Amino acid sequence: MKNGVQVVGLYVHDQDEALQFYFDKVGFRVHTDARNGDYRWLTVQHPDQPDFQLGLFRPQPPIVDEATAQGLEEAVAKGAMPPLVLVVEDCQAAYDGMSSRGVEFVQEPVTRYGSVDASFRDPFGNGWKLVQAR
């Protein structure tokens, strides 16, 4: 058994749309897709990182009440959540590939701090930084 963080979650408004985005456009694969009534545990993972999962979760009862769920969806849509970082070997190549699959970037690759990075958002407002590995 390995100790450590295994799942980090993002709030998404529509899990089917999130799955389509992260699978078809970003290139992740499905790890778990399980339902229990209205609740759905949906995780994806980067193909090169099998010990880590990204949860695509709806803010909803019983985890939070309806008013809180609405507030969380609004905060995500405004880009209020901290960005996630996806390390890639070649930022320009990853940018080109993801752009060709329909990912809309808010910042093209830029060289700074001794590396190259670019930024995009998922359909719900969650921010991402592509950072070229040093």
pLDDT at residue number 1: 64
Q: Please list the alpha-helical segments (H only) found in 78-126.
A: 91-100
Looking at every residue in the chain, the average pLDDT score rounds to 95
100 Cβ contact partners less than 8 Å away, ≥ 6 residues apart: none
Confidence of residue 84 (pLDDT cuts 50, 70, 90): very high
**Confidence check: pLDDT of 61 > 90:** no
51 Cβ contact partners less than 8 Å away, ≥ 6 residues apart: 2, 6
Residue-range domains of the chain with CATH: 7-132 (3.10.180.10)
pLDDT digits (tens, 9 = 90+) for 5-58: 999 999 999 999 999 999 999 999 999 999 999 899 999 999 999 999 999 999
**Confidence check: pLDDT of 2 > 80:** no
